[in-house]
Every structure is written in C-alpha cells, then in structure tokens.
Amino acid sequence: MAAAGGGGGEGAELRLLGAWSSPWVTRVQVALGLKGLSYEYVEQDLTSKSDLLLKSNPVHKKVPVLIHGGREVCESLVILQYVDEAWAGTPLLPSDPYDRATARFWAAYVNDTFVPSWRALIWSTTDEQRAEAFKNAVPLVETLERAFRECSKGKAFFGGDDVGLVDVAPGSHLVWIGVVDEVVGARLLDKARFPGLAAWAERFLAVDAVKEVMPDAGKVMEQYKGFMAKWIASAS
C-alpha cells in the first residue's frame, strides 16, 4: 500500500473490512489510493460473517467498513466523504458548494437509481428477463451520459481534470458491468450510443489508483457464473 498521507487522521491505525469482488469496497480502495493512504485490508467471508464485521457494522452487517483509530465508518458513499474530509490530497468533492451538492446528487443517483435497475440485469436468467432489464437500464445510462457532460465541463472526468466522487461511484462497477455484458450478451456502455461515458470508462480504468485495486475480470466472471448456476437451480 502507499504511504499514509497528511490530514486529520495521520498516524492513526486504518483498517478496511471488505470482500474482494464488491464494487462498494472497491470504491473505498480507490479513494484511499487517490489519497495515498496505507491501510490494512481485512477480507470478510460474507457467508459466515465475522464477529469483527458484526461488531463494526451492527446495523447493516455488511462491507465496506473503514476503521480509523478504532472508530468505525460504514456505507461506501459515507466513507468516501469521510476520507475526503479527514485527509489532504486530491479532493474527491469540489470546493464550490453548488458543485459539491451536484456531485452528491449524482453519486446518490448512481446508488439509488442506476445500480438497483442494473442489478435486475445481473439477476436475470432468461432472455425475456434480460431484455426487460436492459430496456429499463438504458434510459438511466442516458441520464448519466447527460450528467457526465454537465459535470465534466468538457474535461476527462465527472470531477473535471481529476477523479472525484461521481467518478468513483459508478466507476467501481465497471468490471462487473463488463462481465455481465459478456454473459448476458448486452453492451450497456455502447460507444456509439454513449460516447462520453464509454471514453470516460476507459480513462477511469487507466488511473493507477484504480488499476491497483480493481478485481480481476476473470475471477469476477467465475464468481458470477457460480451465482447464476445457483439461481437457475433454485428457480427450477
């Protein structure tokens, strides 16, 4: 891991409870990498949750959990904003209050609107389900394409010249999006239909702090196919 950066938490113990394939955990790993922070990563078995996880996140009992100086911070978007406020370095949120509010709005849109719709595509097991889920997801991607134009103001990322909160929110799902596209025969970030997002995705995945923590697509594919086999077996 990178050396610890400056800011309010310098020198304090920093631990991240996570699961290797979770996009929500990847978000936090990217943010910590962008800040140049060192931390201990503690892999969790979500089928048999540890006492540490249950104690650290007794409300939701899920990852990610960031433990900083013995104090727990839960929920990925909350953790990202905590990291941004606790440590110096490249900011994840802009300094202008309106721009900060706009970034929080679009990050919440990814969490509350886009991801739930796209997850219907992940869980689909028939051609009819996949067609319906894809049809429902496309308008939300169209909205994100417009949001990218608005937020980036012609620059490389939602955050402008540098990766910011709105980049990390959907960007952490890109490996999963690619895997699901391959399995179900879709192309969610089609270059012809969504040129801005398609080019953004390539740039995001090329960032060092992203490349270092993104899960391996082959391993994600193996895990996803295992999940699908169980879902199909249960349905039959």
- In the chain, what are the domains? 14-86 (3.40.30.10), 97-227 (1.20.1050.10)
Q: Count Cβ neighbours within 10 Å for each residue of 117-137 and write b for 16 or more, e otherwise.
A: bbeebbebeeeeebeebbeeb
Instruction: For 16, list phi and psi in degrees, rounded to 5.
Output: -125, 120
Confidence grade of residue 57 (pLDDT, cut at 50, 70, 90) = very high
How far apart, in whole angstroms, are the C-alpha atoms of residue 173 and residue 210? Answer: 11
pLDDT value, residue 215? 98
Whether 5 shows a pLDDT value over 80: the answer reads no
Whether 210 shows a pLDDT value over 80: the answer reads yes
Instruction: For 83, list phi and psi in degrees, rounded to 5.
Output: -60, -40
> Among 52-56, 158-162, 227-231, which stretch is predicted with the lowest mean pLDDT?
227-231
What percent of the chain has a predicted confidence (pLDDT) above 70?
95
> Among 9-18, 28-37, 91-100, 141-150, which stretch is predicted with the lowest mean pLDDT?
9-18
Confidence grade of residue 236 (pLDDT, cut at 50, 70, 90) = confident
pLDDT value, residue 3? 35
Using the structure block, give the residue that is written with the tokens 């995001």. 204
How far apart, in whole angstroms, are the C-alpha atoms of residue 217 and residue 214? Answer: 9
What percent of the chain has a predicted confidence (pLDDT) above 90?
90
pLDDT value, residue 232? 87
